[in-house]
Structure 1
Amino acid sequence: MEGASTMANDVRLAVFASGHGTNFAAILDAIQTQSLSCQIVRLVVDKANAGALAIAEAHNIPTLVVNYKAAGSRDVVEQEIITQLKDDGVQGILLAGYMRIITPKLLQAFPQKIVNIHPALLPSFPGTHGIEDAFNYGVKVTGVTVHFVDEGTDTGQIIDQQAVRITNDDTLASLETKIHDVEHHLYPAVLAQLLKEEVFN
């Protein structure tokens, strides 16, 4: 990783993303500025135009672009991912805006070592539109959840949460900004705690 020293005993992690990669960038920044005892050794994306790819390139992080449509099944894609991650010596996975359901195949390869961030206070508002669903429902408090991934949709064990208050003058856009700001602080903090607890070892 550019500008960061890596130690032989650093935990080796992969990040999965589908979009701009802002949480990916926040994680990389935290690793560097807080000297976290881990390194990101692979970025996996499911879109060839994902913004996260440029972030990986800037940090000299190898990437894997998977194509679910061309592969024909999630099993085929996940076997490709597992083979690559095992070759990389990956010990854990951080999902950072990866808009795909993880199957038991990948879960069994990395049991209780796959972490996700969700833009709502689970178990409320699971799924792909957590911010919008909470805003449209009219709740006054929503937030961000970091959790382990299981076979359900956003049903895994909750690791940590942070609340975000929705004010009367909030718009969907302003709420999205507030949620993303919290994500960029909460995810690195949870990662630091998981490393301290040696969850990925």
Structure 2
Amino acid sequence: MVRRRVAVLISGSGSNLQALIDAGTRSDSAAEIVLVVSNRADAFGLVRAERAGIPAVVVDHRHHPDRAAFEAAIMAELHAAEVEIVCLAGFMRILTPGFVEAWRDRMLNIHPSLLPAFRGLHTHARALAAGVLVHGCTVHLVRPELDDGPILVQGIVPVLPEDDEARLAARVLELEHRCYPLALQLLASGAVRVAGERVEAAAPRLLRHPLLKQSMEG
């Protein structure tokens, strides 16, 4: 199998990066992480990349005069590494429409809610405040509008009566670490087809937290 060359853009601890790294070690993986890019030199995700033997670079947004120069520096690194797919994993910079369109249907993002619900920040607190019974995460293809784009994979968790923001966030993160590798595998292997703003696939694209079934039966 010819594996697709993947770059992961990060800003922080890189727990989803680690999930992608771990998945990439499987013999059936259709994706190979060939580059990690961080806009912060202190991001722990850089340590994860080093431990895995993956080339990593820092492109600090503060060292560039504007977003165009910052994104041009990232693009140069991606092209030099012959990257085919880009994964955003806790990358805390908003990308311009031009950059996004250059990677149309080849750039993934993970968001901690069941999109289109709770776009933006503080999703777990907002889910609790809204009184929803289920919450979760979404891996989607990136479009210029924030937290928008065709949905590749979603993961659902129950919202339990004793939940606070931290408990709910931890439960969602468990599924994030399963959903992101699945979404990348589906895209890299060609198991999904993008038709406009929808994703078509025969493979299952919905994951459920083990507690969800228990809570429904209780």
Whether the TM-score (by the shorter chain) exceeds 0.5 is yes
2:76 to 83, 104, 110: 83
CA distance in 2, matches of 1:91, 1:199: 16
Matched, 1:124 2:117: yes
1:54 to 25, 47, 51: 47
CA shift at 1:175, angstroms? 0.6
CA distance in 2, matches of 1:102, 1:199: 25
CA shift at 1:51, angstroms? 0.9
Q: Structure 2, unaligned stretches of length 5 or more?
A: 194-218
Number of aligned residues: 193
Matched, 1:106 2:75: no
The verdict on how the C-alpha distance between 1:180 and 1:96 changes in structure 2, with shifts beyond 3 A counting, is same
Q: Where do residues 1-201 of structure 1 align in structure 2 (5 Å cutoff)? A: 9-197=2-190
TM-score, normalised relative to structure 1: 0.90
SS of 1:126's partner is coil
TM-score, normalised relative to structure 2: 0.83
Amino acid corresponding to residue 113 of structure 1 in structure 2 = R
Could you list the per-position Cα deviations for residues 63-97 of structure 1 after superposition, in whole angstroms to 9, with x for gaps in the alignment?
12122222121111110111111111000101111
* % identical aligned pairs: 37
Amino acid corresponding to residue 168 of structure 1 in structure 2 = P
Q: Give the root-mean-square deviation of aligned CA atoms.
A: 1.7
Conserved 8 A contact 1:19-1:50:
yes
Amino acid corresponding to residue 80 of structure 2 in structure 1 = D
Conserved 8 A contact 1:14-1:43:
yes
Conserved 8 A contact 2:31-2:184:
no
The verdict on how the C-alpha distance between 1:111 and 1:165 changes in structure 2, with shifts beyond 3 A counting, is same
